Amino acid sequence: MDRPLIAILSGAGVSTDSGIPDYRGPNGLWRTDPEAEKLVTYEYYMNDPEIRRRSWQLRRKNRALLAEPNAAHRAVAELERSGIPVRVLTQNVDGLHQLAGMPARKVLELHGTARRFVCTRCHARGPMEDALARVEAGEEDPPCLECGGILKSATVMFGQRLDPAVLGDALAITKACTVFIAVGSSLQVQPAAGLAGVAADNGARLVIVNADPTPYDEIADEVIREPIGTALPTLLRDLADRS
């Protein structure tokens, strides 16, 4: 008999133990600095050179690229190594699931990645370290070396659509999975949050692991409020034992 497919939707709460702050929690970035949201809003970014300069300084100071995977990331990778079919649908842009050992082809980055840059004109891409080295050398708003266009991180900013291909793959996995675990996500940002409802509608067991209530708690089969760093490894070990 085929082993059950487990889909894991991971949000910012999965990476807080790695030192990366969340966005919407009590001490989240959007609450402590409302102006920061402009730095990741596409329209502001494209039309205001000062916003771009501030964005590059924020990226330069951002510790996310130096962060290490934590117990939650490692537990997901261990589950995959055990032979159970696992797919990660992540709202995070930090690449920590892959650094923990999860094969890149089994991780769908719904909101892109902060580890690469992209040109908004010719779509050239490259390692974020290369662009940041130019900022360190004095370029406040480094243009694309290929076409002179505006560079940004390869993340989905506010006002941008998710990649339709990535979203389509995420929907297919969500409809096919046996267990859907939403962990560390407020489940407030659509369309990613709606995957929890799609999973439940298609008969998956829905488990939500999050410190605060979410809009999908009422339809969940299980809601866990324990700290993610201990709760997720325990949950995944139990699933592995039962599979």
Pick the CATH number of 26-62+114-155 from 3.30.565.10, 3.40.50.1220, 3.20.20.370, 3.30.1600.10: 3.30.1600.10
CATH 3.40.50.1220 residue ranges for the chain: 1-20+69-111+161-243
**pLDDT per position as a tens digit, 121-175:** 999 999 999 999 999 999 999 999 999 999 999 999 999 999 999 999 999 999 9
Q: What pLDDT does 186 receive?
A: 92
Q: Which of 13, 61, 2, 1 is nearest to 227 (CA)?
A: 13
Structure tokens given for 152: 């940004």
CA–CA gap between residue 212 and residue 62 (Å, rounded): 26
Q: Which of 162, 141, 209, 200 is nearest to 181 (CA)?
A: 209
CA–CA gap between residue 75 and residue 83 (Å, rounded): 13
CATH 3.30.1600.10 residue ranges for the chain: 26-62+114-155
Contact 178, 6 (CB under 8 A): yes
* Active site residue ranges: 111
Question: Does the pLDDT at position 27 exceed 70?
Answer: no
Please tell me whether residue 178 adopts helix, strand or coil conformation: coil
Contact 108, 168 (CB under 8 A): no
Q: What is the largest CA-CA distance in the chain?
A: 59
**Weakest mean pLDDT among 2-11, 79-88, 144-153:** 2-11
Structure tokens given for 70: 């934590």
Give the DSSP letter string of 199-230.
HHHTTPEEEEE-SS--TTGGG-SEEE-S-HHH
Q: What pLDDT does 1 receive?
A: 36
- Distance of CA 73 to CAs 35, 161, 167, 183, 230, Å? 30, 27, 22, 11, 11
Question: Does the pLDDT at position 237 exceed 70?
Answer: yes
- pLDDT tier at 3, thresholds 50, 70, 90: low
CA–CA gap between residue 15 and residue 193 (Å, rounded): 17
- pLDDT tier at 35, thresholds 50, 70, 90: confident
Question: Looking at the domain that runs over 1-20+69-111+161-243, which CATH code has it been given?
Answer: 3.40.50.1220
The sign of the CA dihedral 94, 116, 175, 1 is negative
